[in-house]
Structure 1
Amino acid sequence: MSTVQGAGVVVTGAGGGIGAAIARRFAAEGARVVVNDLDGGRVRALAEEIGGTVVAGDASVVVDAAREALGGRIDVFCANAGLASGGDAFAEEDVWARAWDVNVMAHVRAAKALLPEWLERGSGRFVSTASAAGLLTMIGAAPYSVTKHGAVAFAEWLSLTYRHRGVQVHSICPQGVRTDMLSNAGSAGDLVLAPTAIEPEAVADALFEAMAEDRFMVLPHPEVAGYYRHRASDPDQWIGNMNRLQQKWEGARA
């Protein structure tokens, strides 16, 4: 797909932040956009602004309603809805379960509903909003880090399994982005993410650059590539550095 002009696009979690920025960018490029949020009221103004359509409800069951709203065809699905779950290994099991359901299984369910149509016609694009935490891990946020690793892994599996059959996949892995999620990240977010935080529109720009280059990994913070190489080349040193960051955070909270 060399252009998104006229394409049917779905963006989940479009009530603000990255999702809203992605929806605006697709609409500006001429796509027909369905915006989704658990609360339809959060996306109604955005839909009016961009000439899009609202489909409310849980992101994991949006495909059928969005397909109908787009006249029977979804070309691009942006699995953007996410849950910022803090906590450590002692977090309650319902926190872990909810993070897993929103950050991973919603992507799995959407792909399961989309793939038969995409494979039959030989084209489709799946965009997974993950996080640099899915590549590097985030202090103070075990459920979030673990499930974002899962989101990256599932996107990678989709790409390596179906790329030759016309399915294009992109995994977006930003660090801090100036959204409500960052505002609610607490002292760990202030320490690690806030100093280099970017605007949501920069994430949308990075996605469109990756789409133009047919590139799987979308890194709105380019420095993450260097961190990822360091982590892979010397895991013990990487974990040691992250542990020192953990100690700094603990000291600041003491």
Structure 2
Amino acid sequence: MRIAGAVIVVTGAGSGIGAGLARRFVAEGAHAVVLADRDLAAAQAVTAQLGSRAAAAGLDVTDEAAVAGLVAGVLAEHGRIDLFCSNAGLATGTGLAADAGRTSDPAREVGTAADDAWQRAWEVHVMAHVYAARAVLPAMIAAGGGYLLNTASAAGLLSAPGDAPYTASKHAAVGLAEWLAYSYRDRGIRVSVLCPMGVDTPLLMDGLAAGSPAAAAVAASGPVIGVEQVADAVVEAVTNETFLVLPHPRVGKFWATKAADVEGWLVGMAKLAGQIGTADQIGTAGQTGTADQTGTADQTGTTAGAKQKER
């Protein structure tokens, strides 16, 4: 598809990848770019730098009615949505269980805290994509076509040490994108799924500042690239209607290695998991390693931290 002249919505656009995509889309000549974020002030701050073709909106991507309302508003103003970028994301720092220090109420049971993290990851990384597709696809199909860009992660193809909810929900996000791509292809809908490794965003850098072992693993996996490089990859993929967007090309090699020898990959990742450790308390008392695994021995995945942040 052509970005020039397009009407585009980007969620999680107050910072990080979402803000970088919005900036690039405006530079590429988009007709209108709507920057949606749960932090409206952050979205407004980015919008203020982009001129009259950009607009900000407050949005909780886990609220289906709010997502539908945003889509309805954009359609009412512009008559169409050509590209919807479902981009919001978070890290949980949780395995099967969470230590009590990560809860707002230390008296709560560990399992309850972990369940909250699992549910939140599912809502943000999977259901947000479902709500976006439900809201925008009818208008796109009626217009003869449209484009969905769903942000997942290299962890959706590989894994993320120290963050089981992130790993599982990002795998689900990739699976959902695949399903959308083939189910709606004959109705003019094209889909891309974005799977980066380390990117210089608050999601990663805050984890590094907090000493997160999982964030350190990401930083060690290869170059931490800027959001501009992610935007380059996205523009190329959307222009060429490519499904899998890999700003770090090595992810494709890691994925192929995993597929060719899953057993060997698991052995290598078990060693890596033991090296980086996590705060998951399931298992032998005093042990900090888990079976959460990432990439290959070169490591890839995502951040893990106590704070939940959108990109």
Matched, 1:119 2:141: yes
Residue type at the aligned position of 1:43: A
RMSD: 1.7
SS at match of 1:59: coil
Residue type at the aligned position of 1:154: L
Identical counterparts, % of pairs? 45
Aligned residue in 1 for 2:70? 65
1:184 shift after superposition? 3.0
Residue type at the aligned position of 2:256: R
Report the Cα distance in structure 1 between the residues aligned to 2:56 and 2:15, rounded to whole angstroms: 14
1:161 shift after superposition? 0.7
Report the Cα distance in structure 2 between the residues aligned to 1:171 and 1:214, rounded to whole angstroms: 11
More helix by share: 1
Residue type at the aligned position of 2:97: F
TM-score, normalised to structure 2's length?
0.77
**Which stretch shifts more, 71-80 or 191-200?**
191-200
Residue type at the aligned position of 1:50: L
Larger CA Rg, structure 1 vs 2: 2
Aligned residue in 2 for 1:45? 45
1:118 shift after superposition? 1.4
Aligned residue in 1 for 2:250? 223
1:244 shift after superposition? 1.0
Residue type at the aligned position of 1:196: P
Aligned residue in 2 for 1:8? 7
Higher relative contact order (CA 8 A, sep 6+): 2
Report the Cα distance in structure 2 between the residues aligned to 1:136 and 1:193, rounded to whole angstroms: 16
Gap runs ≥5 in structure 1: none
* Counterpart mapping for 1:70-149 below 5 A: 70-91=77-98, 92-149=114-171
Per-residue CA distance 1:177-226 (angstroms, 9 max, x = gap)? 01111123312211233542111111110011111221100000001111
Aligned residue in 2 for 1:174? 196
Aligned residue in 2 for 1:214? 241
Report the Cα distance in structure 1 between the residues aligned to 2:167 and 2:33, rounded to whole angstroms: 30
SS at match of 1:197: coil
Gap runs ≥5 in structure 2: 99-113, 279-287, 290-311
Contact 1:104–1:147 (8 Å) recurs in 2: yes
SS at match of 2:165: helix
1:231 shift after superposition? 0.8
**Which stretch shifts more, 65-74 or 78-87?**
65-74
Report the Cα distance in structure 2 between the residues aligned to 1:202 and 1:67, rounded to whole angstroms: 32
Q: How many residues align?
A: 252
**Which stretch shifts more, 233-242 or 59-68?**
59-68
1:242 shift after superposition? 0.9
Contact 1:36–1:62 (8 Å) recurs in 2: no
Contact 1:37–1:58 (8 Å) recurs in 2: yes
Residue type at the aligned position of 2:214: A
SS at match of 2:191: strand
Per-residue CA distance 1:35-86 (angstroms, 9 max, x = gap)? 0110100111211211211110212433432442442311110000011122
Aligned residue in 2 for 1:192? 218
SS at match of 1:139: coil
Report the Cα distance in structure 2 between the residues aligned to 1:63 and 1:204, rounded to whole angstroms: 26
Per-residue CA distance 1:24-43 (angstroms, 9 max, x = gap)? 01111111100011010011
Aligned residue in 1 for 2:269? 242
SS at match of 1:15: coil
Report the Cα distance in structure 2 between the residues aligned to 1:219 and 1:4, rounded to whole angstroms: 19
Contact 1:13–1:80 (8 Å) recurs in 2: yes
